[in-house]
Chain A
Amino acid sequence: MKFTLSWLKDHLDTDASMDDILYALTDLGLEVEDVVNPMDTLKDFTVGYVKHAEKHPDADKLRVCKVDTDEGELQIICGAPNAREGIHVVVAKPGVYVPGIDTTIGVGKIRGIESYGMMASEREMELSDEHDGIIELAGEPVVGSKFIDYLAANAPDKIDPMIEIAITPNRPDALGVRGIARDLAARGLGVLKPEPTAEIKGGFKSDINVTIDADVQAKGCPVFTGRLIKGVKNGPSPAWLQARLKAIGLRPISTLVDITNLFTYEYNRPLHVFDADTVKGDLRVHFAAGGEKLMALDDNEYTFDAGMMAISDDNGVESIAGIMGGLPSGCTDDTVNVFLESAYWDPITIAMSGRKLKINSDARYRFERGVDPAFTPVGLDLAAAMIIELCGGEASDMVVAGEVPDTIRSYKLDTDRVKSLVGMDIAADEQRATLEALGFELKGDDAFVPSWRPDVLGEADLVEEIARVASMTKLQGVPLPPATVGVPQPILTPMQRRETMARRTIAALGYNECVTYSFIDKPSAELFGGGSDAVMVGNPISADMSHMRPSLLPGLLQAAARNQARGIMDMALFEVGPVFHGGEPEEQEVLATGLLIGHTGPRDAHGARRAVDAYDAKADAEAVLSAIGAPEKLMVLRGAREWWHPGRSGKLSLGPKNVLCAFGEVHPKVLAAMDVKGPAVAFAVHVANPPFPKAKSATRPALKISDLQSVERDFAFVVDSEVEVLAMINAAKGADKALITDAYVFDVFSGEKAEAQMGEGKKSVAISVRLQPTDVTLTDKDIEAVSAKVIEKVSKATGGTLRG
Chain B
Amino acid sequence: MDGLDALKSKYLEGIMGAADESTLEDLRVAAVGKKGEISLKMRELGKMTPEERQVAGPALNALKNEVNSAIAAKKDALADAALNERLQSEWIDVSLSGRPRRQGTIHPISQVTDEVVAIFASLGFGVAEGPQIENDHYNFDALNIAPEHPARQEHDTFYMHRADDDDRPPHVLRTHTSPVQIRHMEKHGAPCRIICPGRVYRADYDQTHTPMFHQYEGLCIDKDISMANLKWTLEEFCRAFFEVDDVELRFRASHFPFTEPSAEVDIRCSWDKGQLKIGEGDDWMEILGSGMVHPKVLQAGGIDPNEWQGFAFGMGIDRIAMLKYGIPDLRAFFDSDLRWLRHYGFASLDMPNLHGGISR
Cβ contact within 8 Å between B252 and A518: no
The segment out of A225-233, A316-324, A465-473 that lies at the interface is A465-473
B33 in the interface, Cβ–Cβ < 8 Å? Answer: no
A101 in the interface, Cβ–Cβ < 8 Å? Answer: no
Q: For chain B, residues 96 to 133, give those with C-beta under 8 angstroms from any C-beta of chain A.
A: 96-97, 99-107, 109-110, 114, 117, 121-127, 129-133
> Shortest beta-carbon distance, B13 to chain A, in Å?
51
CB-CB < 8 A to B162: which residues of A?
A: 538
A510 in the interface, Cβ–Cβ < 8 Å? Answer: yes
Given contacts A518-B132, A538-B162, is CB(A559)–CB(B336) below 8 Å? yes
> Shortest beta-carbon distance, B24 to chain A, in Å?
39
CB-CB < 8 A to A169: which residues of B?
A: 149-151, 154, 255, 257
Q: Write the chain B residue with the least CB distance to A168.
A: B255
B84 in the interface, Cβ–Cβ < 8 Å? Answer: no
Cβ contact within 8 Å between B105 and A29: no
Given contacts A483-B193, A536-B161, is CB(A518)–CB(B220) below 8 Å? no
Q: How large is the interface on A (under 10, 10 to 19, 20 to 34, 35 or more residues)?
A: 35 or more
A59 in the interface, Cβ–Cβ < 8 Å? Answer: no
Which residue of A491, A555, A586 contacts B127 across the interface (Cβ within 8 Å)?
A: A491
Cβ contact within 8 Å between B149 and A491: no
CB-CB < 8 A to A639: which residues of B?
A: none
Q: How many A-B residue pairs have CB under 8 A?
A: 287
Q: Write the chain A residue with the least CB distance to B227.
A: A422
Cβ contact within 8 Å between B203 and A491: no
Q: For chain B, residues 195 to 217, give those with C-beta under 8 angstroms from any C-beta of chain A.
A: 199, 201, 203-205, 211-212
Q: For chain B, residues 180 to 204, give those with C-beta under 8 angstroms from any C-beta of chain A.
A: 193, 199, 201, 203-204
Q: For chain B, residues 329 to 354, give those with C-beta under 8 angstroms from any C-beta of chain A.
A: 333-339, 341-342, 345, 347-349, 351
The segment out of A9-17, A92-100, A125-133, A564-572 that lies at the interface is A564-572
Q: For chain A, residues 515 to 566, give those with C-beta under 8 angstroms from any C-beta of chain B.
A: 515-519, 533-542, 545, 548, 555-556, 559, 562-563, 566
B232 in the interface, Cβ–Cβ < 8 Å? Answer: yes
Tell me which of A171, A422, A559 has the highest count of chain B C-beta atoms within 10 A of its own C-beta. Answer: A422
Cβ contact within 8 Å between A515 and B100: no
Cβ contact within 8 Å between A478 and B261: no
Q: For chain A, residues 587 to 633, give those with C-beta under 8 angstroms from any C-beta of chain B.
A: 587-588, 600-602, 604-606, 608-609
The complex places the Cα of A559 from the Cα of B339 at a distance, in Å, of 12
A645 in the interface, Cβ–Cβ < 8 Å? Answer: no
Q: For chain B, residues 225 to 248, give those with C-beta under 8 angstroms from any C-beta of chain A.
A: 225-229, 231-235
CB-CB < 8 A to B338: which residues of A?
A: 512, 563, 566, 568, 571, 573
Q: For chain B, residues 288 to 312, give those with C-beta under 8 angstroms from any C-beta of chain A.
A: 292, 294-295, 309
Cβ contact within 8 Å between A534 and B161: yes
The complex places the Cα of A134 from the Cα of B83 at a distance, in Å, of 95
The complex places the Cα of A479 from the Cα of B104 at a distance, in Å, of 40
Given contacts A27-B252, A533-B163, is CB(A476)–CB(B158) below 8 Å? no
Cβ contact within 8 Å between B253 and A472: yes
A685 in the interface, Cβ–Cβ < 8 Å? Answer: no
A580 in the interface, Cβ–Cβ < 8 Å? Answer: yes
B142 in the interface, Cβ–Cβ < 8 Å? Answer: no
Given contacts A460-B261, A482-B124, A510-B102, is CB(A537)–CB(B160) below 8 Å? yes
B141 in the interface, Cβ–Cβ < 8 Å? Answer: no
Which residue of B104, B124, B160, B294 contacts A512 across the interface (Cβ within 8 Å)?
A: B104
The complex places the Cα of A351 from the Cα of B349 at a distance, in Å, of 53
The segment out of A193-201, A254-262, A500-508 that lies at the interface is A500-508
Which residue of A369, A477, A506, A513 contacts B228 across the interface (Cβ within 8 Å)?
A: A477
Cβ contact within 8 Å between B154 and A503: no
A650 in the interface, Cβ–Cβ < 8 Å? Answer: no
> Shortest beta-carbon distance, A743 to chain B, in Å?
30
How many residues of B are in contact with the other chain, CB < 8 A? 98
Cβ contact within 8 Å between A572 and B104: yes
CB-CB < 8 A to B2: which residues of A?
A: none
Q: Write the chain B residue with the least CB distance to A490.
A: B121
The complex places the Cα of A580 from the Cα of B131 at a distance, in Å, of 10
> Shortest beta-carbon distance, A213 to chain B, in Å?
21
Which residue of B100, B203, B225 contacts A608 across the interface (Cβ within 8 Å)?
A: B100
B260 in the interface, Cβ–Cβ < 8 Å? Answer: yes
Which residue of A31, A556, A566 contacts B337 across the interface (Cβ within 8 Å)?
A: A566
> Shortest beta-carbon distance, B5 to chain A, in Å?
56
Q: Write the chain B residue with the least CB distance to A468.
A: B253
Given contacts A512-B342, A605-B96, is CB(A538)–CB(B170) below 8 Å? yes
The complex places the Cα of A776 from the Cα of B255 at a distance, in Å, of 81
Cβ contact within 8 Å between B131 and A586: yes
A464 in the interface, Cβ–Cβ < 8 Å? Answer: yes
A578 in the interface, Cβ–Cβ < 8 Å? Answer: yes
> Shortest beta-carbon distance, B240 to chain A, in Å?
14
Cβ contact within 8 Å between A508 and B336: no
Cβ contact within 8 Å between A423 and B229: yes
Which residue of B228, B264, B351 contacts A422 across the interface (Cβ within 8 Å)?
A: B228
Cβ contact within 8 Å between A508 and B124: no
Given contacts A493-B127, A539-B158, is CB(A460)–CB(B229) below 8 Å? no
Given contacts A515-B333, A583-B160, is CB(A504)–CB(B261) below 8 Å? no
A368 in the interface, Cβ–Cβ < 8 Å? Answer: yes
A348 in the interface, Cβ–Cβ < 8 Å? Answer: yes
Q: Write the chain A residue with the least CB distance to B99.
A: A608
CB-CB < 8 A to A691: which residues of B?
A: none
CB-CB < 8 A to A464: which residues of B?
A: 253, 260-262
> Shortest beta-carbon distance, A188 to chain B, in Å?
15
Which residue of B101, B205, B336, B347 contacts A514 across the interface (Cβ within 8 Å)?
A: B336
A804 in the interface, Cβ–Cβ < 8 Å? Answer: no
Given contacts A467-B261, A477-B232, A480-B220, is CB(A512)–CB(B105) below 8 Å? yes
The complex places the Cα of A587 from the Cα of B160 at a distance, in Å, of 14
Tell me which of A472, A540, A578, A583 has the highest count of chain B C-beta atoms within 10 A of its own C-beta. Answer: A472
Given contacts A348-B148, A458-B295, A478-B228, is CB(A484)–CB(B261) below 8 Å? no
Given contacts A512-B104, A600-B102, is CB(A588)–CB(B253) below 8 Å? no
> Shortest beta-carbon distance, B255 to chain A, in Å?
3
CB-CB < 8 A to A369: which residues of B?
A: 150
The complex places the Cα of A509 from the Cα of B348 at a distance, in Å, of 9
Q: Write the chain B residue with the least CB distance to A545.
A: B211
A421 in the interface, Cβ–Cβ < 8 Å? Answer: yes
The complex places the Cα of A493 from the Cα of B110 at a distance, in Å, of 17
Cβ contact within 8 Å between A460 and B232: no
> Shortest beta-carbon distance, B128 to chain A, in Å?
9
CB-CB < 8 A to B226: which residues of A?
A: 419-423, 478
Cβ contact within 8 Å between A491 and B126: yes
Cβ contact within 8 Å between B251 and A513: no
> Shortest beta-carbon distance, A517 to chain B, in Å?
5
Cβ contact within 8 Å between B231 and A477: yes
CB-CB < 8 A to A477: which residues of B?
A: 228-229, 231-235, 249
CB-CB < 8 A to A496: which residues of B?
A: 127, 129
> Shortest beta-carbon distance, B183 to chain A, in Å?
9
A731 in the interface, Cβ–Cβ < 8 Å? Answer: no
23 contacts between A and B (CB under 8 A): A29-B252, A29-B254, A170-B255, A423-B226, A472-B252, A477-B228, A477-B234, A478-B231, A478-B232, A481-B222, A482-B123, A491-B121, A492-B117, A508-B104, A513-B107, A513-B341, A515-B110, A516-B336, A538-B159, A578-B199, A601-B101, A604-B99, A609-B100
Known A-B contacts: A169-B257, A467-B261, A537-B160. Give 19 more (CB < 8 A). Answer: A28-B253, A422-B261, A423-B229, A477-B231, A478-B232, A488-B121, A491-B127, A492-B121, A504-B351, A510-B101, A510-B102, A513-B104, A514-B107, A533-B161, A562-B336, A585-B135, A587-B133, A605-B97, A609-B100
A-B interface, 10 closest residue pairs, ranked by CB to CB distance from nearest: A483-B124, A423-B228, A510-B102, A477-B232, A559-B336, A601-B100, A168-B255, A29-B253, A507-B348, A585-B131
Measured CB to CB, the residues of B under 8 A from A are: 96-97, 99-107, 109-110, 114, 117, 121-127, 129-135, 138, 147-151, 153-154, 158-163, 170-171, 173, 193, 199, 201, 203-205, 211-212, 220, 222, 224-229, 231-235, 249-255, 257, 260-264, 292, 294-295, 309, 333-339, 341-342, 345, 347-349, 351
